[in-house]
């Protein structure tokens, strides 16, 4: 049997902990009867995508993202529309896509998933020219993503500290929204475009989202009162945030969002300043990925 060619791409600065003995775990647990493998380390933004382009040309069968949602995004950019398969060893802060796909956070168990090689096709999305795999959005969540990216410390506590600091004074913005031709005007805390069900940290903002249905879930959330936080937290925990009076969820393939100013946009946890008009589209069945 011809072995599959597999490349691990490790982001050495991703997440809230050091990778520790991940290289030794790869050597110990990867199935060398199935794979010939090599390990690459990223050196900066965009490097993972460059590695993917090169390795796809060289016939790689599987490329493994060892990192968080940002690492997954960079690697997916080099794999969308190809036959090469993405795999994930979650090592980031939120790990939204891994949580959605039920990929274990334990390194050994994640490697065992790769060894079983169960491959499916999933959708991806685009905001203007920016690809996303899990979730994108505009408004408060993009502001939090921007602040989080500039923080010295990562992790859930840092994320919640930023939310707590910025939320009280954040003023909802007015947006013109068009979903598959249906137009509306909303003043929102944030608008999210969800391929998977969550931001990360096990916070399912789009409980009915699927990565293979050819649709994006559009979540429009109004600013809520501080006294409502316990109720909203409970709804998130029980995957019922869509029942909140502050939340509207639509499904669509083509979405346009216009605002008066250029706004920060959250793309899989990374913040970008894009144009006043956002064109959001689904790319159905565009990425091969290994799942449990």
Pure H helices in the chain: 22-29, 47-57, 69-77, 96-101, 107-116, 140-149, 156-166, 229-237
Query: For the residues 47-59, what does the mean pLDDT come to?
Result: 96
What does the pLDDT average to over 245-271? Answer: 94
Average pLDDT score over residue span 258-266: 92
Q: How is 167-217 classified by DSSP, letter by letter?
A: TTTPPPEEEEEEETTEEEEEEESEEEEESSS-SSTT--SSTT--TTSS-EE
Which sequence spans correspond to the domains of the chain? 4-117, 130-284
- The pLDDT of residue 198 is 87
Residues 134-160: pLDDT tens digits? 999 999 989 988 888 777 777 778 888
> Is residue 34 predicted with pLDDT exceeding 70?
yes
Instruction: Compute the distance between CA of residue 41 and CA of residue 63 in angstroms, rounded to an integer.
Output: 12
Model pLDDT for residues 73-117, shown as the tens digit of each residue: 999 999 999 999 999 999 887 888 999 999 999 999 999 999 999
Question: For the segment 166-214, what is each residue's pLDDT rounded down to a tens digit?
Answer: 999 999 999 999 999 999 999 999 999 999 998 876 788 999 999 999 9
What local confidence, expressed as pLDDT, does residue 14 receive? 58
CATH 3.40.640.10 assigned to 130-284:
no
Confidence tier at 17 by pLDDT (50, 70, 90): very low
Whole-number pLDDT of residue 20: 58
Instruction: Give the pLDDT confidence score for residue 16 in this predicted structure.
Output: 38
The predicted model scores a pTM of 0.91
Left (φ > 0), alpha (ψ -120 to 50) or beta: where does 81 sit? left
Q: Which CATH architecture has domain 4-117?
A: 3-Layer(aba) Sandwich (3.40)
């Amino acid at each position: 049997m011809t072995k599959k060619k597999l490349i691990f791409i490790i982001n050495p600065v991703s997440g809230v902990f050091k990778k520790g003995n991940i290289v030794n775990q790869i050597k110990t647990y990867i199935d060398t009867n199935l794979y010939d493998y090599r390990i690459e380390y990223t050196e900066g933004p965009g490097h993972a995508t460059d590695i993917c382009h090169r390795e796809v040309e060289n016939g790689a069968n599987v490329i493994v993202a060892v990192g968080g949602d940002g690492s997954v995004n960079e690697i997916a950019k080099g794999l969308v529309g190809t036959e090469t398969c993405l795999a994930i060893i979650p090592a980031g802060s939120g790990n939204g896509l891994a949580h959605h796909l039920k990929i274990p956070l334990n390194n050994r168990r994640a490697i065992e998933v790769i060894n079983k090689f169960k491959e499916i096709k999933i959708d991806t999305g685009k905001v203007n020219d920016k690809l996303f795999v899990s979730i994108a959005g505009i408004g408060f969540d993009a502001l939090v993503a921007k602040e989080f990216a500039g923080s010295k410390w990562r992790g859930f506590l840092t994320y919640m500290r930023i939310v707590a600091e910025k939320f009280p004074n954040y003023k909802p913005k007015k947006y013109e929204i068009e979903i598959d031709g249906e137009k509306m005007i909303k003043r929102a805390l944030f608008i999210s475009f969800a391929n998977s069900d969550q931001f990360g940290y096990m916070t399912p903002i789009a409980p009915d989202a699927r990565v293979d249905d050819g649709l994006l879930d559009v979540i429009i959330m109004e600013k809520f009162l501080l006294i409502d936080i316990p109720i909203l937290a409970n709804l998130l925990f029980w995957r019922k945030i869509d029942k909140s009076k502050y939340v509207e969820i639509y499904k669509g393939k083509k979405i346009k969002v216009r605002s008066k100013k250029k706004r920060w946009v959250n793309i899989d946890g990374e913040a970008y300043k894009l144009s006043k008009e956002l064109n959001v589209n689904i790319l159905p069945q565009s990425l091969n990925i290994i799942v449990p």
